[in-house]
Chains A and B, each alone.
Chain A
Amino acid sequence: AQSVTQLGSHVSVSEGALVLLRCNYSSSVPPYLFWYVQYPNQGLQLLLKYTSAATLVKGINGFEAEFKKSETSFHLTKPSAHMSDAAEYFCAVSGTGRRALTFGSGTRLQVQP
């Protein structure tokens, strides 16, 4: 079975500061990992996905994530936060390409001016 744990249900940063959202996974097979973002009253939008081709994955809107097998982590980062980054972020895992996604509990990112 696969699962993900997101540490910190709320994260607050200042505009221009580093964003770090944490995700640890548990999987019995090499996992497929994803980060999604959800803006208020909207569905989920894919930020990036881990495909095993590279441990550092670059996504949209300046976000990137690094897969660390030794730490079972897939943390999401962005060097400089923008007000428009305020949203809820979900880490998700799938055991195979065709299985359902198992989501973490989400982290709400607040960006202070």
Chain B
Amino acid sequence: KAGVTQTPRYLIKTRGQQVTLSCSPISGHRSVSWYQQTPGQGLQFLFEYFSETQRNKGNFPGRFSGRQFSNSRSEMNVSTLELGDSALYLCASRHEEGPGPYEQYFGPGTRLTVT
């Protein structure tokens, strides 16, 4: 099976702009999570979608939003970009059948640089 794919891999935006990142999960995986990775804050959970519904949410401002489509592909959007939004954004998917725990499979990430 193909792994989790994320597009684009690299992105440069200007402060105040908005950005949309895309994630395609492993086929058959209905759960998609997003994480932000920065040198200062480490890996932080943004949100999780399951069957097109947001199931869990981290502690990020409303500028960060996401959605999931019927084919389980997910997008996250960041509006009014700030310099501090520069980070590696990781998408992860998992298959939830049988007893847990359900490991998450990560994509290669999108490196966002805000100037």
Tell me the A residues contacting B by CB distance below 8 Å.
32, 34, 36, 41-46, 49-51, 90, 94, 96-106
Closest chain A CB from B49 CB (angstroms): 12
What is the interface size of chain B, counting residues whose CB is below 8 A from a CB of the partner?
Answer: 25
A-B residue pairs in contact (CB < 8 Å), sample of 25? A32-B101, A41-B108, A42-B108, A42-B109, A43-B92, A43-B108, A43-B109, A44-B92, A46-B104, A46-B105, A49-B101, A49-B103, A50-B101, A51-B101, A94-B101, A97-B96, A97-B102, A98-B31, A100-B56, A100-B58, A101-B35, A102-B45, A103-B43, A105-B42, A106-B43
Least CB separation from B45: chain A residue: A100
Q: Report A-chain residues with C-beta under 8 Å of the C-beta of B56.
A: 99-100
Query: Is A46 in contact with B100, judged by CB distance below 8 angstroms?
Result: no
B99 at the interface (CB under 8 A from A): yes
